[in-house]
């Protein structure tokens, strides 16, 4: 990566700094690329997951590579997968998403193939990038299956792109840009609004006399991450506070989702009975913590919150909203559908878990819209976003989403480091 000057601007941008393996429009590092860019293919980048009992431990070794975790400790996590026959649903979900993207592209008459590669299991990103190069597709626009800003949900994908280009010796041949983080894009938010609206309506229908303002709690759940990683999520100059952009983005989206869902419910035929009622209280909670007890992670855990804050109070019903997830993968199916649901039952709460975006038409169309922003060079003023935080950056800012334990590694789609 070539650094022309080390003089940072007031916004944290290093003037003239090149972006690794970027298309010409993104190479200079603008916050938002307003120059139309011709792409040869879309690279759908997933996490990956095992597809049989024999895959589970090798998959977990891939996930934890470089951390020296022995197999006996990995087996403590493996039982989640073994409970479902050793098969993670995530690969099937990405196959479905790939097919849905292809159908939406065809419906709009857009000639862009979709290639799919994973970080941790077959098909690997290496395979997808080599396939692209073999077919002469050298300008790729990547969609990572994660909406928010943090090391594991954004920068690690960007580092993996760089690692793969280096390992395949395609760094000087293939260019990879990435769509902006889409946490507040209407296409991502809409399925959650629908789920919360319908969930509140169902809670009312199935709990006679429920006072939604005091007896129903909406728990917006996302993956916990180390507090040190959260603090460094997003660029420093934005001043998001102790837990960085990761928490701020989730908090902002949760508010938008509940406000929209409540307004739509009041405007529905069932809403007449709710006039004068207060909307439910909500809380951002966390799940799926995996680090040592000595390392602080974001809290409260969803189960701890129900046990310590809601038990013994007026709460009769909880709505569990998987706000941090794009599909029903293992953390949703185990940590929410099994563990959190069991906790709610033990406390005597009525509960349901609302849907993830999956292949919801609004979500799929929104992802295509994000690609077209870059194809068309859409001005930032014309880019849809539902919070004051967005629209997020096309090219990540310097120092964004550092992994404190591993340090900075080469990454595409962003300014160094």
Question: Residue 139: which H helix or E strand, with range?
Answer: strand 139-144
pTM: 0.94
Question: Residue 352: which H helix or E strand, with range?
Answer: strand 350-353
Q: Which two tokens stand for residue 199?
A: 């969930």
| Distance from the Cα of residue 307 to its chain's centroid | 27
Of 46, 41, 47, 45, nearest in space to 105 by CA: 41
Alpha helices in 268-360 (DSSP H): 302-305, 330, 341-346
Q: How far apart are CA 319 and CA 199, in angstroms?
A: 7
Alpha helices in 113-268 (DSSP H): 125-134, 156-167, 186-206, 212-215, 227-231, 244-267
Q: How far apart are CA 348 and CA 6, in angstroms?
A: 59
Q: How far apart are CA 253 and CA 388, in angstroms?
A: 10
Domains and CATH numbers, the chain: 24-49+88-181+360-382 (3.40.50.1400), 186-353 (3.40.50.1400)
Residue identified by tokens 């989206």 is 253
* Other CB atoms within 10 A of residue 297 CB: 20
Q: How far apart are CA 222 and CA 243, in angstroms?
A: 14
Q: How far apart are CA 413 and CA 417, in angstroms?
A: 11
Of 147, 62, 119, 212, nearest in space to 367 by CA: 147
Residue identified by tokens 């609206």 is 197
Question: Residue 361: which H helix or E strand, with range?
Answer: helix 361-376
Q: How far apart are CA 348 and CA 119, in angstroms?
A: 40
Cβ density class 136-175: b for 16+ within 10 Å, e for less: ebbbbbbbbbbbbbbbbbbbbbbbbbbbbbeebebbeebb
pLDDT per residue, tens digit, the chain (417 aa), is 222 223 333 333 444 448 999 999 999 999 999 999 999 999 999 999 999 999 999 999 998 887 778 998 899 889 889 989 999 999 999 999 999 999 999 999 999 999 999 999 999 999 999 999 999 999 999 999 999 999 999 999 999 999 999 999 999 999 999 999 999 999 999 999 999 999 999 999 999 999 999 999 999 999 999 999 999 999 999 999 999 999 999 999 999 999 999 999 999 998 888 988 999 999 999 999 987 888 999 999 999 999 999 999 999 999 999 999 999 999 999 999 999 999 999 999 999 999 999 999 999 999 999 999 999 999 999 999 999 999 999 999 999 999 998 999 999 999 999
């Amino acid at each position: 990566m070539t650094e022309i000057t080390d003089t940072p601007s007031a916004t944290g941008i290093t003037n003239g700094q090149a972006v690794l393996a970027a298309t010409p429009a993104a190479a200079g590092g603008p916050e938002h690329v307003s120059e139309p860019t011709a792409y040869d293919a879309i690279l759908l980048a997933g996490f990956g997951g095992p597809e049989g009992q024999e895959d589970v431990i090798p998959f977990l070794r891939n996930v934890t590579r470089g951390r020296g975790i022995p197999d006996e400790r990995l087996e403590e996590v493996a039982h989640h997968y073994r409970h479902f026959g050793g098969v993670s649903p995530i690969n099937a979900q990405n196959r479905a998403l790939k097919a849905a993207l292809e159908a939406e592209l065809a419906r709009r008459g857009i000639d862009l193939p979709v290639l799919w590669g994973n970080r941790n299991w077959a098909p690997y990103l290496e395979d997808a990038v080599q396939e692209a190069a073999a077919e002469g597709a050298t300008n790729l626009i990547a969609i990572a299956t994660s909406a928010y800003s943090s090391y594991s949900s954004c920068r690690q994908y960007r580092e993996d792109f760089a690692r793969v280009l280096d390992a395949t010796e395609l760094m000087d041949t293939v260019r990879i840009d990435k769509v902006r983080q889409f946490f507040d894009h209407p296409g991502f938010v809409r399925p959650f609004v629908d789920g919360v609206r319908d969930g509140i309506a169902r809670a009312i229908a199935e709990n006679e006399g429920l006072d939604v303002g005091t007896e129903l709690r909406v728990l917006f759940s996302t993956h916990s991450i180390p507090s040190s990683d959260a603090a460094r999520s997003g660029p420093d100059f934005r001043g998001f506070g102790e837990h960085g952009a990761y928490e701020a983005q989730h908090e902002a989206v949760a508010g938008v989702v509940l406000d929209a869902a409540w307004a739509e419910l009041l405007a529905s035929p069932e809403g007449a009975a709710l006039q004068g009622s207060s909307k439910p209280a909500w809380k951002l909670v966390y799940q799926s913590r995996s680090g040592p007890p000595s390392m602080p992670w974001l809290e409260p855990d969803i189960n701890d919150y129900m046990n310590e804050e809601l038990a013994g109070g007026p709460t009769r019903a909880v709505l569990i909203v998987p706000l941090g997830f794009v599909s029903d993968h293992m953390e949703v199916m185990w940590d929410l559908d099994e563990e959190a649901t069991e906790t709610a039952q033990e406390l005597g709460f009525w509960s349901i878990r609302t849907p993830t975006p999956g292949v919801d038409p609004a979500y799929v169309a929104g992802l295509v819209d994000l690609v077209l922003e870059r194809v068309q060079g859409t001005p930032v003023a014309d880019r849809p976003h539902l919070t004051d935080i967005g629209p997020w950056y096309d090219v990540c800012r310097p120092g964004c989403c550092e992994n404190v334990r591993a340090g900075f590694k080469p990454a595409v789609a962003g300014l160094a480091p």
